[in-house]
Structure 1
Amino acid sequence: MLPAKKVWTPHLAVKNAVSTTLEPGSKDLLVFSNGVVVHRVLMHIVVGCDINLYSYPFTRDSCPIYLDGKNAMGCGSIIRVGEIYPKGNERGDWRTDSVGDVRDENGHTYLWVTLSTRTFNPVVTLIVPSILIMMADMASFSLPLGGGERISFKVTLVLSFIMFLIILADILPGDSRCSPLIRCHFCVCLISLVISMIASMLLTRLGADGSVLPFSLPRWRPRRAEPSPPEDSPNTAASELEVQSTVTEPKPVETALQRMVDYLERVTTQDRLAHQRKSFANKLDNVCFWIYVLFYIVYSMVMLYMIKYYMCVVDNLEF
């Protein structure tokens, strides 16, 4: 038994470490007569590793720990890894699936750590709320266009989703070369909510006024100038006499009945036009609803394909 400070011990470092703390397990070590030294070293290592977060929260990737037993001049020890006992592999949001040693063709030794995310918490807090908000937006098509109930409900959905994204701004994984696909998912959800709100506003305007513009265009038509007969025409006096002789003053009862008939015709025409506008707006609303249903089906299939089959490649050995 000799003091650890009095005996030469092999150099041990981690090449891709951000910070390393090395301390002996005990102040003494054991030296045999054949030169074998039994020594215990405790290393606390923080490793910088690019984890592929493209399919987050369904992430599974590996991180190498490059063990180096040689100094800057190339002299030192060859590291051989024996048995590995992972501890604390179920803590936090990440799970340690396996730890093994790998030796490349240059004789370098790596501790290959495979990590995966615990999917329950991210799915419940990220994916499920966004899906429920989109389902509520689709269910809002059952509300009538008139009255403003649908528009107020859609505005509430948009504001709620924006607040949801503001809260998650610091929780989502950071942007890297393989940016998480869930960021694109939130962006598509927000754009679809805004488009749905704008479409409902335009359809409400169309059903009420027959136009999607916020203002009515002036209908200006030039009046045709009627030719006036010359003053010295001999027919002018005769026509004036004829008009005076044919014009008779109508009776008051007939005038009141004619005004009532004209008013009822105008009201009937306006009601018919309003009904036609509402029917046309409802047809367009049904078309928009089925377009949204088709879009969400196609979008879900594309997202499932991107998560399952498309892989963003990250070189973890690029130190």
Structure 2
Amino acid sequence: MVLQHRISLLFLIFSCPIVLTDSCNSRCLANILIAKKMKSAPQANNCTVNVTITSMQYETLSFDTKNMQMSSRVKVNMMWTDQELEWNDTISNAKAVMLPVDKIWTPELVLDNAIDVTVKPYTNDVQVTRNGTVDYAVILFIAVSCNDINLFSYPFVKGKCSVAINGWNQSFCELNLTQPTNISNVGGIQGEWETVSVTVEQDETFQNRRYLSVSLSISPFSAVVTLILPSILIMLADLVTFALPVQGGERNNLKVTLVLSFTMFLLILNDHLSSGGRCSPILHYHFCFCLVNLVLSMVMSIVLTHLTLDERFLPCKCSKNLKPPPKTASLGQDEADAGVIAITRSSDLPSEVASLQKIVNFLENIDQKEQVANSNVAFVDRLDKICFCFFLFIDIIYIIIVVVVTRTDLCKEKKKVFWDTEDDNNYYYIGGALYFFNGTEYENY
């Protein structure tokens, strides 16, 4: 009886794995793995976690030219092996199982140059295979500063913006990311900016740091139509206004209108384009030159209009052929003389002679005033032609300078270092031993 009981007990013990194998399905297996509470990182003897990024999808959402900030969406697919999550056939025949993403450890990515980061799991579940390989996907919404892009030749700009996605690196432990060579780029054009390509590049100074290099370019059509072309047309209209007569206020009114219109475009430029930094866009200098040119042209036109009306504004004018009018002559005296002439009787000979003399003086004064007025007009016309030639010469010289400056690379922004070097203490494992790299050689730690 005792022997039979022992045989039955042994049969029950050896039959348990078979019962578990037949009864433990994928959901049962998932519950077993969840019960292990593997929330800590799978650490090897050298305290290093190796994570492979199988694929990466990049999309530029927007680009703020005023603040030089780029917002992007990056989908990262990662894989790593956690030996504590593997199982054999004695537990379950399932090849893979789905686990909740918050029940196991998942890697945290480090973005050194990010202004704002939002991390969302692509799904609420992760896939774990029989050998403990975890397949995990995450979506990153990233905002980075792109001050490395040189806006000096705006709107004809091409540059690169960096998105530093790496693992963390402490004194002894690190999360080592193996990044893919090819990155898929979706969504090419965002406003005036276009994403040309996205590549993974390695930093020249920090050998263990890599980053996404996003090549961007501006479509110049919008800026040319809304900013550059109107400024050129306004400057051309200002030169054409010299064809209007100086007398009257038509030219002055038109020049004031041009100045006010250009001020509106200057406000649009200030709201749209960044003006800070060492390499300020040349478009700011262009608008400044145009505004000063328009204001000077308006002031000169007003002065010339005054010169046609009042000769006292002509201290440098000299006329050899014309005699200045008598200082004692005045309009009131001329009117009085005209009244005397009208009432003089022809019977009084001396009075008639005096009246004739006054008539002659009156006519001579009128003729001198007409000659002075004509002289003022001729002198102002000469000054007007000189001003036109001066502004035309200045505009031609300015166009040549702009062409030369835009053809040469006069302004270069220095590349900024955005890595957090305090966490990178240059500790390495070589042959199972820990070494410290002091910049020139390795020292055993």
Aligned to 1:10: 107
Aligned to 2:138: 41
How far 1:95 moved relative to its partner?
A: 0.7
**1:187 correspondence with 2:288:** yes
How far 1:11 moved relative to its partner?
A: 3.4
Unaligned runs of 5+ in 2: 1-96, 316-347, 419-445
**Comparing 157-166 with 275-284, which one deviates more in the overlay?**
157-166
Which amino acid letter does the alignment assign opposite residue 112 of structure 1?
S
> Considering only aligned residues, what root-mean-square deviation do their CA atoms show, in Å?
2.3
**1:66 correspondence with 2:164:** yes
Are 2:128 and 2:135, in contact at CA under 8 Å, matched by a contact in 1?
A: yes
Aligned to 2:223: 122
1:95-114 → structure 2 map (5 Å cutoff): 95-105=194-204, 106-114=207-215
Aligned to 2:388: 289
**1:133 correspondence with 2:234:** yes
Which amino acid letter does the alignment assign opposite residue 121 of structure 2?
P
Aligned to 1:81: 180
The CA distance in 1 between the partners of 2:374 and 2:314, in whole Å, is: 19
The CA distance in 2 between the partners of 1:155 and 1:267, in whole Å, is: 36
Aligned to 2:407: 308
Are 1:10 and 1:77, in contact at CA under 8 Å, matched by a contact in 2?
A: no
Aligned to 1:30: 127
How far 1:199 moved relative to its partner?
A: 0.6
Which string of whole-angstrom CA distances, capped at 9 and with x for unpartnered residues, describes residues 151-184 of structure 1? 1211222222223333443233342332222112
Which amino acid letter does the alignment assign opposite residue 9 of structure 1?
T
Q: What is the SS of the residue equivalent to 1:54?
A: coil
Q: What is the SS of the residue equivalent to 1:169?
A: helix
How far 1:213 moved relative to its partner?
A: 7.5
How far 1:144 moved relative to its partner?
A: 0.5
How far 1:288 moved relative to its partner?
A: 0.7
The CA distance in 1 between the partners of 2:288 and 2:143, in whole Å, is: 34
How far 1:305 moved relative to its partner?
A: 2.1
The CA distance in 1 between the partners of 2:379 and 2:248, in whole Å, is: 17
The CA distance in 2 between the partners of 1:85 and 1:287, in whole Å, is: 62
Which amino acid letter does the alignment assign opposite residue 297 of structure 1?
I
Which amino acid letter does the alignment assign opposite residue 120 of structure 1?
F
TM-score (norm 1): 0.82
1:153-168 → structure 2 map (5 Å cutoff): 153-168=254-269
Structure (1 or 2) with the larger CA radius of gyration: 2
The CA distance in 2 between the partners of 1:210 and 1:201, in whole Å, is: 15
Are 2:161 and 2:214, in contact at CA under 8 Å, matched by a contact in 1?
A: yes
Are 1:89 and 1:97, in contact at CA under 8 Å, matched by a contact in 2?
A: yes
Size of the aligned set, in residue pairs, is 285
The CA distance in 2 between the partners of 1:26 and 1:45, in whole Å, is: 19
In structure 2, do the counterparts of structure 1 residues 64 and 205 end up closer, same or farther at CA, with 3 Å as the change threshold?
same
**1:262 correspondence with 2:366:** no
The CA distance in 2 between the partners of 1:198 and 1:108, in whole Å, is: 59
TM-score (norm 2): 0.60
Give the one of 136, 150, 163 matched to 1:52.
Answer: 150
How far 1:33 moved relative to its partner?
A: 5.0
Which amino acid letter does the alignment assign opposite residue 286 of structure 2?
H
In terms of fraction of residues, the more strand-rich structure is 2
Aligned to 2:341: none
